[in-house]
DNA sequence: TTGAAAGCGCTAACAT
DNA sequence: ATGTTAGCGCTTTCAA
């Protein structure tokens, strides 16, 4: 029997050739059961087809690969129960870590998972009272940026397109920033900011449909602030269908600055999030968290206003 | 001690309350080791941020969820070795099934995995001589559709933008269809179709850069056929940078018809793939394959030419 | 009906 | 150096 190249402790001489002949496959479950930690890192995301999160996660994935972790992305379709089910399942699998942008406000479940030794990093969301690692963008500042830009252009009545119930903290903050900017300009957000609900999933279709309400409003808005670029895409589509010209008749601003934002018709004004920094930092916090005397940290980045062609002076 | 609501066979009375107090978590590895099949289905994709595959996989995910499977998406960045590593790892995990659009031409590895009892479904790729389930689109027909459209508009010299070495069968087929259409129109593809390589990953950046070569060609093309819409997006960007007008000076056609294609400037002419049918069928073949007397099947769909504003008569 | 025990494939500790 | 063994947490089988 030939000697194996690297006879691991305890293993009897194993004939590599023979193993191949028998189509032998190592059993990961047995190894994990024995106490060896797994290499699966899960990135939980509301929508697997969200271009923004995908871009962030690609960066995270690359960084994690350097440390021999496999990052898989899982979608949960904005459903809290689905999120819970996914977490339970991942916990049972003994994952190496979790990157998540939670749909629920309540973080106790994640707090518990983290406390039990599984690294958890919040993405695009602050931990609040919870003791967790987080990577986020100052969304209130982002909302203010969008608001000030619109206000500077003379808009006085603005629509905000967000998800059905605004449970997602990041969106809540963007909306609050927007309201704050309006208040600072002497407007009353309760009257001059009109909330339009865009039910998930399939944001672009929902936003497209929401335009029907916007164009038939008795007291019309002159600008639309969208929770993200996908929503803005839907709005552009809907407006196009109704023959409304952007930005001449109405201004549209997005959020994220995804790859295609600059090439839309018209080129989308938006609030850029630092994709690369978010993704890389998320990976690094996750890795750090596995180390001995770890303290939870929050990394916070600033958004940036990108002015393109979809916003203009209020007619 | 309170009786459990559903005392499973063999398990001693378990006090649910006590379990919660002790923060007890079921161990999935132990269960799997004992022979219970897992619920993880992996969708392996070249790029986690590819909008086309994400859209397809979202549909697959939904269908799979009905059968209590968790679908996670994993990216491998077009690297064959990374694909192999991922497959090994998934096999060790004892996954319930794999949906994959392989980067390599060689399917023996997948054939072996399938033979060992793990359902494998090829996405966007025919099995060829291998005995595997597959869901695909007739890419040759797609290439012909694109070619005939361009030829009909009077274009006689066309650039094809594909990945670095055209290993991906789907792209190879599109290119062949294009060449076939040219031959049928009496042109010599070897002379009149110029191949431009777009190295992965980050197709849009690479395509943007590739435009530099296109605009400085001594014998210029009047049309650009792109392997997919992301590449087309990059081309549009690059052309814009060079001040070249689309479609007046040059025509651009994409492939996939992703969500944002219709709202680009100019609206992108492209070859549409039936996203929903692909995703749903992939899930169903995967589920079928787990059943007793299963025979491998291939489902094939037809692409569709979508004419928008990025293609026009050759000047 | 309820409890005990075997054993899945692996690794760490131990015995040779 | 090399070989043996215990046991991870679960489910299935068998015994009481």
How close are the terminal C-alpha atoms of chain A, in Å?
86
Question: How far apart, in Å, are the Cα atoms of A133 and each of A5, A207, A231, A275, A294?
Answer: 41, 33, 29, 18, 10
**A30 strand C contact, CB < 7 Å:** yes
- Using CA atoms, how far apart are residues B214 and B219, in angstroms rounded to an integer? 10
Measuring CA to CA, which residue among A146, A27, A40 is closest to residue B94?
A27
Sequence-separated (6 or more) residues with CB below 8 Å from residue B207: B161, B198, B226, B230, B231, B232, B233, B234, B235, B237, B238
The confidence band for B8, taking pLDDT boundaries of 50, 70 and 90, is very low
pLDDT tens for A211-226 read: 999 999 999 999 999 9
**Residue A1, CA: closest nucleotide via C1'?**
D2
Average pLDDT over residues B36-41: 93
Q: pLDDT, tens digit, for every residue of B222-238?
A: 999 999 999 999 999 99
Q: Give the bases of strand C that a protein CB approaches within 7 Å.
A: 2-5, 7-14
Contact flag, residue A2 CB and nucleic strand C, below 7 A: no
Confidence category of residue A6, pLDDT binned at 50, 70, 90: very low
Residues of A with CB below 8 A from B113's CB?
none
List chain D nucleotides near protein: any atom < 7 Å from a Cβ. Answer: 2-5, 7-14
Is residue B25 very low, low, confident or very high in pLDDT (cuts 50, 70, 90)?
confident
Q: What is the pLDDT of residues A108-136, one digit of tens each?
A: 999 999 999 999 999 999 999 999 999 99
Please check whether residue A233 touches B, CB under 8 A.
yes
Q: DSSP for A67-82?
A: TTPEEEEEE-TT-HHH
- Domain positions in chain B are 16-136+275-301, 139-273
What confidence score (pLDDT) does residue A203 get? Answer: 93
Residue-wise pLDDT tens digits, A183-212:
999 999 999 999 999 998 889 999 999 999
The pLDDT value recorded for residue A11 is 47
Distance (Å) from the alpha carbon of B51 to chain A's nearest alpha carbon: 6
Test the B interface: residue of A35, A260, A283, A310 with most B CBs within 10 Å: A260
Average pLDDT over residues B84-110: 92
Question: pLDDT tens digit string along A145-183?
Answer: 999 999 999 999 999 999 876 678 899 999 999 999 999
Instruction: Indicate yes or no: pTM above 0.85.
Output: yes
Contact B39 A267 (CB under 8 A): no
Give the nucleotide nearest to A34 (CA→C1').
Answer: D8
Decide: A237 and A208 in contact? Cβ < 8 Å: yes
Q: Does A111 touch chain B (CB under 8 A)?
A: no
CB contact set of A152 (below 8 Å; sequence gap of 6+): none
**Chain A with chain B: Cβ pairs closer than 8 A:** 131
What's residue A10's pLDDT? 45
Which residue is it, tokens 């025979």? B295
Q: Could you tell me which CATH number the domain at B139-273 has?
A: 3.40.50.2300
Q: What is the CATH T-level fold of the domain B16-136+275-301, as seen in this structure? A: Rossmann fold (3.40.50)
Contact between residue B123 and residue B55 where contact means Cβ atoms under 8 Å apart: no
Q: How far is the CA of B90 from the C1' of C6 (A)?
A: 29
Q: Do B49 and A48 touch (CB under 8 A)?
A: no
Rounded mean pLDDT of chain B? 91
CB atoms within 10 A of CB B248: 11
- Residue B18's pLDDT is what? 62
Residue B14 scores a pLDDT above 60? no
Q: Above 60 in pLDDT, residue B115? A: yes
Phi/psi zone of residue B92: left (φ > 0), alpha (ψ -120 to 50 degrees), beta?
alpha
- Say what the pLDDT of residue A1 is: 29
Instruction: Give the best residue of B21, B24, B29, B235 to mutate against chain A (max A CB count within 10 A).
Output: B29
Q: Which of A169-173, A299-303, B123-127 has the highest mean pLDDT?
A: A299-303
Residue A2 confidence class, pLDDT cut points 50, 70, 90: very low
Query: CB–CB of B60/B124 below 8 Å?
Result: no
Q: Could you tell me which chain A residue has the CA closest to the CA of B30?
A: A33
Same fold yes or no, B16-136+275-301 and B139-273:
yes
pLDDT for residue B82 is more than 70: yes
Closest CA to A119 of A60, A187, A172, A62: A60
Q: How far apart are CA B252 and CA B222, in angstroms?
A: 9
Predicted local distance difference test score (pLDDT) of residue B11:
46
- Over residues B171-195, mean pLDDT: 97
> Comparing A273 with A78, which gets the higher pLDDT?
A273
pLDDT, one tens digit per residue, over B140-179 is 999 999 999 999 999 999 999 998 766 788 999 999 999 9
pLDDT tens string A53-102: 999 999 999 999 999 999 999 998 878 888 999 999 999 999 999 999 98
Interhelix angle for A80-93 vs A108-115, to 10°?
Answer: 10
pLDDT of residue B105: 80
- A118: enclosing H helix or E strand: none
- Chain B residues with beta carbon closer than 8 angstroms to that of A254: none
Is the CB atom of residue B295 positioned under 7 angstroms from any atom of strand D? no
Q: A26: part of which helix (H) or strand (E)?
A: none
CA distance B73 to chain A (A): 5
Q: Which nucleotide is nearest to A33 (CA to C1')?
A: D8
Whether the bond between B247 and the residue before it is cis, its omega within 30 degrees of 0, is yes
Partner-chain residue, chosen from A33, A55, A86, that has the shortest CB–CB distance to B30: A33
Among A86, A75, A83, which residue's Cα sits nearest to residue A47? A75
A37 touches strand C (CB under 7 A): no
Cβ contact B265–A262 (<8 Å): no
Report if CB A13 to strand C is under 7 Å. no
Q: Are strands A270-272 and A304-306 parallel, antiparallel or unpaired?
A: antiparallel
Nearest residue for D8, CA–C1': A34
Which stretches of chain A are DSSP H helices? 16-21, 28-33, 51-66, 80-93, 108-115, 139-152, 169-184, 189-192, 203-215, 229-241, 275-289
> Among A2-16, A296-310, B197-211, which stretch is predicted with the lowest mean pLDDT?
A2-16
Q: Which residues of A touch B89 (CB under 8 A)?
A: 28, 39, 70
Average pLDDT, integer, range A19-33: 81
| Torsion angles phi and psi, residue A121, rounded to 5 | -125, 125
């Amino acid at each position: 029997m030939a000697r194996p190249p690297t006879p691991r402790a305890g293993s009897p001489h194993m004939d590599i050739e023979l193993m191949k002949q028998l189509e032998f496959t190592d059993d990961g479950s047995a190894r994990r059961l024995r106490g060896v930690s797994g290499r699966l890192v899960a990135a939980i995301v509301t929508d697997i087809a969200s271009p923004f999160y995908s871009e962030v996660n690609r960066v995270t994935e690359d960084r994690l690969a350097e440390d021999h972790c496999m990052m898989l992305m899982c979608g949960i379709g904005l459903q809290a129960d689905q999120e819970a089910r996914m977490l339970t399942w991942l916990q049972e699998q003994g994952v190496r870590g979790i990157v998540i942008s939670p749909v629920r406000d309540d973080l106790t479940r994640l707090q518990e998972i983290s406390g039990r030794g599984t690294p958890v990093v919040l993405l695009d969301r602050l931990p609040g009272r919870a003791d967790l690692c987080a990577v986020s963008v100052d969304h209130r500042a982002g909302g203010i940026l969008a608001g000030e830009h619109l206000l500077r252009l003379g808009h006085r009545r603005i629509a905000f397109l967000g998800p059905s119930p605004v449970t997602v903290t990041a969106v809540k903050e963007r909306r609050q920033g927007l309201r704050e900017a309006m208040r600072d300009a002497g407007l009353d957000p309760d009257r001059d900011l009109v909330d339009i609900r865009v039910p998930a999933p399939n944001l672009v279709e929902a936003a497209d449909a929401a335009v029907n309400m916007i164009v038939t409003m008795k007291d019309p808005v002159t600008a639309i602030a969208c929770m993200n670029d996908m929503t803005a895409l839907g709005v552009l589509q809907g407006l196009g269908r109704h023959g409304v010209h952007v930005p001449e008749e109405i201004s549209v601003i997005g959020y994220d600055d995804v790859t295609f934002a600059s090439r839309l018709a018209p080129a989308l004004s938006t609030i850029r999030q630092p994709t690369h920094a978010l993704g890389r930092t998320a990976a690094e916090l996750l890795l750090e968290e596995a180390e001995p005397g770890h303290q939870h940290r929050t990394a916070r980045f600033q958004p940036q206003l990108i002015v393109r062609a979809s916003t203009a002076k209020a007619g």
